[in-house]
Amino acid sequence: MEGLITKQLLLDFFDEKATSLQRKLVEEWLEAPENEELFYSYLDEWERKNPQFFPDRENAQQKYSALLRGEVEPQQPPETEDEDTGLARTYFPYKMLWLVSASVALVMAFFFRSELIYKEYTAPPGQTNAFYLEDGSHVVLNANSVLRVPRFFFEKGRREVWLDGEAEFQVKHTENNARFSVLMGNEYEIEVLGTEFTAYSRARGKRVFLKMGKVKLNLPAGEQIYMKPGSYFSADSLGTYEVSTPQQPEAITAWKEQAFFFDNTQLSEIAEQIYERFQIKIVIKEKALANRKIGGTFQARNADELLETLSELLEMKITQKTDYIELSTLK
Amino acid sequence: MTSTTRLHHTPKEDTSGVDRTFISDQKIITITTDDERLVRETFSLDPREGCALLFSRYYENLCSHAIRFVHSKEIAEDIVSELFTFFWQNRVFEQVTSSYRAYLYKAVRHRAYNHLKWQMHCTDSLDSVTTPLMSLTVSPDEAMQYTELHQKVEHIIQQLPPQCRRAYLLKRVEGKKYDEIALELRISAKAVEALVSRALAKLRKELKENWFLCIQLIMLFGY
């Protein structure tokens, strides 16, 4: 039985997103020893991306180094009772004494870092993903985006999520006035009370468009901006930003309907958008072609659909190369 | 009938550098991964440094993996530290034929699974797991089964009523005391205790019903 086992499929399997048919393929694939190696390689990568908690590596490493140098002897620790089961905690024979005494200190030291990153919502390239958070807030994730929500999202006074990509939020106002924060990396943070907005955090920069409600935007170096409904904040990767009131907000939210909205948009910019949403690299052969402008709304579920439509308008040729697509003018 | 599974990867993706220098009719395959070349070289110079390097590279990820099974930070860290101790003291690095990464993950899963079993008081399982043997036999299903096990554990916890789940996580994962949790959740310590017991009972019950690893585990590992 032929099958295409990709890294993504394994990652999906780890995320419990694989179908039973896919699991069957993985099972068969695993029969080859070199594939088992790959399995653990991908597993390691997945663990790196989805840490469940933050152990104190430096501390543990120091103790291990001491052991390696022969400075510490493994010894049986005093028996401690597990509060729960009343059973002795010493299940493991070579328990390190220092582990027992150090663990108390570690727990204290990591009180604030003890947040477990609980759930990760993703939208793969080319698809959006809509869902509700525990507090009733509604999120639509754009393609190729990730939203991380800590385990105790709803319990604390603040609701914090991390965004890598693009999403639209409809934040529910909670009774205890818990502020909702979207952290976008590089010290950008959106704080809201109850409101509707879209946030964009990708390599090209950070953008926020406020539809309804009130938003305070925290910028790097302690700067703060208060936004009004209808305003649009846009920063490039260097941190230069501007706030404007766009006349056509459709451009900003077209992605929700699997569409693209262009208004005098250069083909080069379109190529960037395609990369952001579909992870497909586009190279435009002629500069003149790259500068051609397009206007209109285009429905497209994948890059090919969009490019086909555009190729008719612009009379351009689409060539699939090894790992990118080349656009050139038809002679 | 020949069945082939092709590994498909886009050119820009790192293929993890698996060294495929085996010839198809060769029986014994030593799998080495290029991204561990530096580690192997370090081992040949000074195994202490090699162990330390492995520790720094894999400690956090292994802890993260372990906690998916044992649901306790303290225990997860213990398991991983003990594994590395065992690794050094028994010079396991001299006997590993797979990548160190594969060995470490398999060993962590095995130990974490042991602990989970012990916690769930599942005594009607194979005790072959305690045999101090360095194993080269690998059940191909196992890799998937371990993953499915921790996914099952996660499922069970997610199905718990919210307050029950919170109490359980604070107690087991965070390692907080009943009093602390009682304060945080604004209920009595007794209520917390009841919630945690309920969660543990649920876990025990549901895992016992699905204890597929009890029967299918044939992998022997030193512990």
pLDDT tens-place string over residues B95-137: 888 889 999 999 999 888 888 877 776 543 433 333 222 233 3
Please say which residue of A109, A131, A148 terminates a domain: A109
Same domain, A233 and A217: yes
Q: Is A68 close to B76, i.e. CB distance below 8 A?
A: no
Backbone angles phi, psi at B218, to 5 degrees: -120, 0
Q: Identify the closest residue of chain A to B177 by CA–CA distance.
A: A83
Residue A191 inside a domain? The answer is: yes
Split into its structural domains, chain B has a count of 1
Q: Is B59 close to A61, i.e. CB distance below 8 A?
A: yes
**Percent of the residues in chain B that have a pLDDT greater than 70, as a whole number:** 69
Residue B86 touches partner A, C-beta closer than 8 Å = yes
**pLDDT value, residue A156:** 55
**pLDDT value, residue A112:** 35
Same domain, A294 and A208: no
**pLDDT value, residue B211:** 54
What CA–CA distance (Å, rounded) separates A306 from B204? 52
Q: What angle do the packed helices B100-119 and A33-49 form, to 10 degrees?
A: 70
For residue B105 the two structure tokens come to 């993950």
What is this structure's pTM? 0.49
Same domain, A242 and A127: yes
Confidence band of B58 (pLDDT split at 50, 70, 90): very high
Same domain, A45 and A62: no
Residue A68 inside a domain? The answer is: yes
Residue B73 inside a domain? The answer is: yes
Backbone angles phi, psi at B107, to 5 degrees: -65, -40
What range defines the domain where residue A96 resides? 57-109
Same domain, A231 and A125: yes
Same domain, A269 and A223: no
Split into its structural domains, chain A has a count of 4
CB A216 within 8 A of CB A225: yes
Residue A278 touches partner B, C-beta closer than 8 Å = no
Same domain, A281 and A191: no
Same domain, A124 and A207: yes
Same domain, A131 and A237: yes
Residue A2 inside a domain? The answer is: no
Best B64, B111, B170, B176 residue to mutate vs chain A (most A CBs within 10 Å): B64
Q: What is the ipTM of this complex?
A: 0.72
Residue B135 inside a domain? The answer is: yes
Residue A17 inside a domain? The answer is: yes
Q: Which residues pair with A316 in a beta bridge?
A: A329
pLDDT digits (tens, 9 = 90+) for B154-176: 888 988 998 899 899 988 888 88
What range defines the domain where residue B191 resides? 34-216
CB A271 within 8 A of CB A158: no
What CATH number corresponds to the domain at position A156?
2.60.120.1440
Please say which residue of A199, A227, A250 terminates a domain: A250
**pLDDT value, residue B1:** 32
Residue A86 touches partner B, C-beta closer than 8 Å = no
Residue B212 touches partner A, C-beta closer than 8 Å = no
d(CA A82, nearest CA chain B) in Å = 11
Same domain, A226 and A141: yes
Residue B105 touches partner A, C-beta closer than 8 Å = yes
Residue A305 inside a domain? The answer is: yes
Same domain, A294 and A262: yes
**pLDDT value, residue A54:** 87
Q: State mean pLDDT over B44-56.
A: 93
What CA–CA distance (Å, rounded) separates B91 from B173? 32
Residue A72 touches partner B, C-beta closer than 8 Å = no
Residue B4 inside a domain? The answer is: no
Residue B127 inside a domain? The answer is: yes
What CATH number corresponds to the domain at position A307?
3.55.50.30
B90 or B208, which is more confident = B90
Among the partner residues A28, A30, A155, nearest to B143 by beta-carbon distance: A30
CB B64 within 8 A of CB A53: yes
Residue B158 inside a domain? The answer is: yes
Tens-digit pLDDT string for chain A (331 aa): 345 778 888 998 998 888 888 888 888 888 888 888 889 999 999 999 888 888 888 899 999 999 888 876 554 444 444 444 433 344 443 333 334 334 433 443 343 343 454 577 888 888 888 888 877 888 999 888 888 887 665 555 677 888 888 999 988 777 666 678 888 877 788 888 668 888 888 888 888 998 888 888 888 877 888 888 888 998 888 888 888 888 878 778 888 878 888 888 899 999 999 988 888 899 999 999 999 998 888 888 888 888 888 888 888 889 888 888 999 988 6
Residue A95 touches partner B, C-beta closer than 8 Å = yes
Q: Is B143 close to A40, i.e. CB distance below 8 A?
A: yes
Residue A303 inside a domain? The answer is: yes
Same domain, A151 and A227: yes
Q: Is A95 close to B140, i.e. CB distance below 8 A?
A: no
Q: H or E segment at B119?
A: helix B100-119
Q: Is B63 close to A32, i.e. CB distance below 8 A?
A: no
Q: Is B81 close to A40, i.e. CB distance below 8 A?
A: no
Q: Chain B partners of A322 at a C-beta cutoff of 8 Å?
A: 11
Closest CA to A253 of A168, A158, A141, A139: A168
What CA–CA distance (Å, rounded) separates A196 from A194? 7
